[in-house]
Amino acid sequence: MGELWNLVPADGWRRLAFDAAWQSTLICCLGWSLAWIVYRRPALRAAVLLATSLLCVVVPVASSVVRYGGWGMLTPAELTEPAEQIGWIYEAPSGAPRPVILESSSVVRENVRAAPERIDWQSWTWLAFGCTWPVTSCVLAVRLARSAAAVRRACRVGEFCQDEAIVVALGRAAHMMGVPAPILKLSPAVDSPALASPVLGMGGHTLLLPVAGNERDDWFVIFCHELAHMARGDSWSRLAVEIVSVVLPWQPLLWLVRRDFRAACEEACDDWAIAAGADPVEFASILLDFVPQARPAVMLGMAESISAARSRIMRLLAMQDVPRPGVGRLLAVMGWVIAVALAVVLALLQAGRPLWRGTDLPPWGNTPIGRAMAVNKDLPSDRPLLKPYLVDAPDILLIDAVKVVPKAPYRIEPLDTVNVTVLGTLPDQNIAGPYSVEADGTIALGPAYGTIKVAGMTLDEAIEAIKKQLKGVLSTPEVSVSLAESAGQQDIAGEHLIGPDGTVNLGSYGSVYVAGMTIPEVREAIEKHLEQFLDKPRISVDMFAYNSKFYFIVSEREGMDNVVRVPCTGHERVLDALSHDPNLRLSATGWVWIARSKSDQEKPTILPVDWRALLRGESNQTNYWIEPGDRVFVQEK
């Protein structure tokens, strides 16, 4: 089940939800405490609750960014005895984990892999939570969109107000509040005055008035309250709080903060109306007229409960002094600076890079990679290991003959070609040029000279045989014979497979043992063997296919192990090895290590790879050289 959550690089969705839960709870408690201290200042209380809502989303996201970047201020504790490696194994039948001290890292790997697959109630709880969270957020998002559509519909069906007294009162209130006058419309979709924001794309703020009750003469006070929302920017702040509620619908404290924020905004606007010259008692009576009796407002941004309206009325009736409606620019700047500082501090309260500082348990135990590298004395040097390659079965060699001259004395074979030149021949029957040895071992010198058998003879013996044959026709023949082409000579060219016995077959020249030799040694061995048949032979040898030495890439994909065998040439490093498997999936939170053993009886040496440093180019220290038989393990978290 946990694989469903590993979609966020910094430890998965469960960690993000956990951070959002405890951080939002802490922030809501702090915000409520501060709001209670400034309870008599609604404008200041609304600003505190707005900052509280925004921090509930900003801080968890910032924490994930900090954790992914490894910028946390907390340093996890390392082991005091790094030589011991502690792992967790599962005891049967209870399956309860217990700590044990293991002799080698391979035991940790085996025991961790041997842990039974268990699906407990926590997995199902997280799965249910993971399904409920996005569904609830989608429902709330649809509800918010319907509210915006209702506001837009109310503006569209409204008619422009033509009452001169109401328009004049709106102009006076706009001048008093220092804001431009909004569009004024009479709409049957509202039961009380409401300000529609320009967020809905209507070109500007629109003030909606109910169709009934236009004969009132106290519009100036009502407009001062509504335009106070415009001066305070409540359209944007209310939208921000609603979005936060959509993102974190499972946080009950956040819904209480939302309720108190809306009440604080209304009370702050009431203070603006009183400061503009309205009588508190008169304004309270106005609120009584607009309390929704038959049905609540259909628009989410305009809805107000009866209990909230009752609280406002009681507050207005108890008001004796003229309130201070504003927050103050200096106080507002200081408040946001404190909020940003709090967000930064909470985001940085994370552990540093776990691979180097050790809070996460790697598969070889809970020894951090830095300490594991310090303890392990067999770590390879970063210097290139330019070791010559030793050939073995079933490698394929590319062998070509450069110089192939038969060893003297050469005996002529059938189908060979020899050059015969004779001086003192008959005028019209010269003997000069190549002559092919027939299958019966004879060469034909012409009608006047006949045929001579030369097969099995050396070149000198062939000269004497030809001279003896020609003396019956010529008086003093001078004969010379040379080998032009040997038909029985074995061609040495192309690919040659090293057999299971470690030898390479050269055809008629026999076999040569080459296993365990370097390329120069192979060339020397073959040339030495061919000296039995050829005169100072010269050949070229190169590798055609590396088939004898391999290393293995073992990766875990979706709970399954996958093994890829890769030929080893002796000049690959970790990054070269990982690039051979195109289907390999690597992440900054995964583990990569090499298991290396020099013999079957020896326990393997674990070489931990700092994949994060290699991925980001920070360090090339653990980009080890691959040796034959290495197992490169890639484990995704």
Give the pLDDT confidence of 537-596 residue by residue, as tens digits. 888 898 888 888 888 888 876 667 778 888 887 778 888 888 777 667 666 556 788 888
At residue 203, the pLDDT reads 64
**Which comes out higher in pLDDT, residue 602 or 502?**
502
**Across 133-159, average pLDDT:** 86
d(CA 159, CA 186): 5
Angle between helix 121-157 and helix 12-37 axes, rounded to 10 deg: 60
Q: In terms of DSSP H, where are the helices of 352-441?
A: 354-357, 369-375
**Across 457-478, average pLDDT:** 82
Q: In the structure encoding, which two tokens stand for residue 618, read together?
A: 């920070």
Q: Residue holding tokens 């040895």?
A: 437
At residue 513, the pLDDT reads 93
Asked whether residue 85 carries a pLDDT value surpassing 70, the answer given is: no
Determine whether 402 is exposed, middle or buried from the number of CB atoms within 10 Å of its CB (0-12, 13-18, 19+): exposed
Q: In the structure encoding, which two tokens stand for residue 126, read together?
A: 């997280």
Could you give the percent of the chain with pLDDT greater than 90?
A: 5
pLDDT tier at 105, thresholds 50, 70, 90? very low
At residue 275, the pLDDT reads 84
Sheet holding 429-436, edge to edge: 429-436, 417-426, 478-485
Asked whether residue 358 carries a pLDDT value surpassing 70, the answer given is: no
Give the pLDDT confidence of 385-427 residue by residue, as tens digits. 567 788 888 889 998 888 777 777 777 788 788 888 888 778 7
Give the pLDDT confidence of 233-252 residue by residue, as tens digits. 888 888 899 999 999 998 89
Name the β-bridge partners of 564. Answer: 553
Report the sign of the C-alpha dihedral through residues 489, 491, 492, 496, in that order. Answer: negative
Asked whether residue 295 carries a pLDDT value surpassing 50, the answer given is: no
Q: In the structure encoding, which two tokens stand for residue 195, read together?
A: 């300000």
Give the H or E element holding residue 186: strand 183-187
Provide the whole-model pTM: 0.52
Pairing of strands 417-426, 206-210: unpaired
Asked whether residue 52 carries a pLDDT value surpassing 70, the answer given is: yes
Choice among 101-110, 184-193, 357-366, 527-536 with the minimum mean pLDDT: 101-110
d(CA 474, CA 94): 111
Report DSSP letters for 494-548, one per residue.
EEEEBPTTSEEE-GGG-EEE-TT--HHHHHHHHHHHHTTTBSS-EEEEEEEE--S
Do 173 and 166 touch, CB atoms closer than 8 A? no
- What does the radius of gyration of the chain's CA atoms come to, in whole angstroms? 47
d(CA 285, CA 308): 15
Name the β-bridge partners of 556. Answer: 561
Give the pLDDT confidence of 6-49 residue by residue, as tens digits. 444 445 667 778 888 888 899 999 998 898 888 888 888 989 99
d(CA 293, CA 288): 10
Determine whether 513 is exposed, middle or buried from the number of CB atoms within 10 Å of its CB (0-12, 13-18, 19+): middle
Amino acid letter, residue 36: W
